[in-house]
Amino acid sequence: MAGEMIVVENLHKYFGHIEAVKGVDLRVKKGEVVVVVGPSGSGKSTVLRCINHLERPTHGDVYIDGVHLEDKATDINAVRAEVGMVFQQFNLFPHLTVLQNVTLAQQKVRKRSDKEARDVGMKVLERVGIPEKADSYPRQLSGGQQQRVAIARALAMDPKIMLFDEPTSALDPEMIKEVLDVMLDLVGAGMTMVVVTHEMGFARAAADRVLFMDEGQVVEIAAPDELFNNPREERTKLFLSKILSH
């Protein structure tokens, strides 16, 4: 398991009687970018949310950098500090300024001093291109800016892994690019990433592997060229024909 940042084994998740995820396996190496695609309701987000235990798997095991999450002795908060998460709805903290959004967890979880947290905070805000908004409140920002702050907030923790749950789905079309650019910058920097998205262009450009999910199962996982140009499974072909026809 050396060099594997994320290992998901035989993951099952029930919501009541509905089985949302039916036995998913996934291994993500350090620095690898895996893009997860599939129709809505296919269990993509649930798998992602199980990786940092926002959802508890019903069966199966998740290992982050060798740490077994289902082990009762595991400190889940310590693991989550290493795993950044970006949500579809940004989920910025509306009562805090942009800078406070990116410094709070550094201070409370990483126990950094005010000054250190501030320095790191400004650095990550510069990285996502909006240091001038440090003292604004989230509601004063556009959707694209908010999502970039959300990415900065996760990056400020110096995570080993970044998870993206449909990061551009709630954005107006003209703001999608600015967010994808930030994500591409992270890919270039060698970040280990799992990205659930409908942006096939991003998948082609950034993914080492693309995972296609349907009905709670992994249908196919392959390099983007292979998956998009020569899909092996009928279900993959059908899905791609629906989304790539325009």
Nearer to other proteins, 59 or 108 (CB): 108
Please, what is the minimum distance in Å from the beta carbon of residue 137 to other proteins? 9
Judging by beta carbons within 10 Å of its beta carbon (0-12, 13-18, 19+), is residue 36 exposed, middle or buried?
buried
| Residue 46 is a binding residue for other proteins (CB under 8 A) | no
In terms of C-beta density within 10 A (0-12 exposed, 13-18 middle, 19 or more buried), how is residue 232 classed? Answer: exposed
- Indicate if the alpha-carbon torsion angle 219, 1, 87, 126 is positive or negative: negative
Q: How many residues bind other proteins (CB under 8 A)?
A: 26
Indicate whether 52 belongs to the interface with other proteins (CB under 8 A). Answer: yes
* Angstrom distance (rounded) from CA 202 to CA 44: 17
The nearer residue to other proteins, 105 or 195, going by C-beta atoms, is: 105
81 binds other proteins (CB under 8 A): yes
Compute the least distance from the CB of residue 222 to other proteins, in Å: 29
Q: For residue 111, is it left (φ>0), alpha (ψ between -120 and 50) or beta?
A: left
Q: Closer CB to other proteins, residue 94 or residue 173?
A: 94
The residue to which tokens 């509306």 are assigned: 94
**Residues whose CB is less than 8 angstroms from the CB of residue 99 and which lie 6 or more positions away in sequence, other chains included:** 118, 121, 122, 125, 134, 135
E strand or H helix that includes residue 146: helix 143-155
Q: Which of 3, 14, 89, 223 binds other proteins (CB under 8 A)?
A: 89
Q: Which is nearer to other proteins, 79 or 98 (CB)?
A: 79
Does 154 help bind other proteins (rule: CB under 8 A)? yes
**Cβ proximity to other proteins, 16 vs 188, nearer residue:** 16
Contacting positions for other proteins (CB under 8 A): 52, 54, 77-85, 87, 89, 91-95, 104-105, 108-109, 150, 153-154, 157
